[in-house]
Amino acid sequence: MATDFQKAARLGACLSKDYAQDLFALMVNYRDISASEAASRLNIHIRTAQDFLETLAELGILDKQEVYERKRPYFRYTLRQASIKLEINLESLFSNRGSDIQLDRAIREKKGGGARFSTARDGQQIASVSTWTGRGRDRQERKISLTTAQGQFLYHLPFPTAAYLTIAEIMKKAGVENKNKGEIIDLVGVLEEHGVIEITAQEESS
């Protein structure tokens, strides 16, 4: 069953339940079953069985049919397929490696960004960067530990008064290989989100 990450997470949550195996056994051995019948058989709450069966129906693993008993409607569930195949293409979902256009973004440290850069012992890279959210007693620090490539990249980030450089130019200056561009682009996104860096006025207006 090819699916996206959110659907896979929902299925995984179902499969992790203590009663999942027993409920699937019922679905295999019964022609169809209602939530109340399943709950009674497994000695679990009817809402628990209902939520489980509804989720599987939404994921396309079960069929559900509305029936009536003494004019009162309820659903009966039938197993649609005897096997479940889970496939998630993580590369297509999350990879930044194909986003070469982002390497042309020109950036520099934002004046007054308020971030704290901690230099590594060798002095040639940044070990971590800290940002803060909130004010007063609600002020909270977020410390981001950097990989070696990210630390080298951030060490060469232009100062607020310096000229903008593209991500590709900073990577070249820092000696960061192209194979690390995914983690660099990810870091840039986090820094932009927290107001640590700024992009060129030309890009902002484009």
Tens digits of per-residue pLDDT, 41-58? 999 999 999 999 999 999
Tokens of 119: 């230099």
Verdict on whether the full-model pTM lies above 0.85 = no
The burial of 172, by beta-carbon neighbours within 10 Å (0-12 exposed, 13-18 middle, 19 or more buried), is given as middle
pLDDT at 204 over 50: no
- Collapse the DSSP code of 37 into the 3-class scheme (helix H, G, I; strand E, B; otherwise coil) and give the result: helix
Q: Please give the CATH topology (third level) of the domain spanning 5-79.
A: Arc Repressor Mutant, subunit A (1.10.10)
The arithmetic mean of pLDDT across residues 78-101, rounded, is 78
The whole-angstrom distance between residue 103's C-alpha and the CA centroid of its chain comes to 22
The whole-angstrom distance between residue 28's C-alpha and the CA centroid of its chain comes to 33
Closest to 157 measured CA to CA, from 144, 170, 145, 176: 170
How far is Cα 185 from Cα 192, in angstroms, rounded to an integer? 10
Higher pLDDT, 123 or 174: 174
Tokens of 138: 């609600």
Q: Report residue 137's pLDDT band, with 50, 70 and 90 as the boundaries.
A: confident
Q: Which CATH architecture has domain 98-205?
A: Alpha-Beta Complex (3.90)
Higher pLDDT, 189 or 94: 189
Q: Taking the domains of the chain in order of start, what are their residue ranges? A: 5-79, 98-205
What DSSP state is assigned to residue 161? Answer: T
How far is Cα 194 from Cα 79, in angstroms, rounded to an integer? 47
153 φ, ψ (degrees, to nearest 5):
-65, -50
pLDDT at 87 over 90: no
pLDDT at 128 over 90: yes
What is the reported pLDDT for 96? 65
**Amino acid letter for position 143:** K
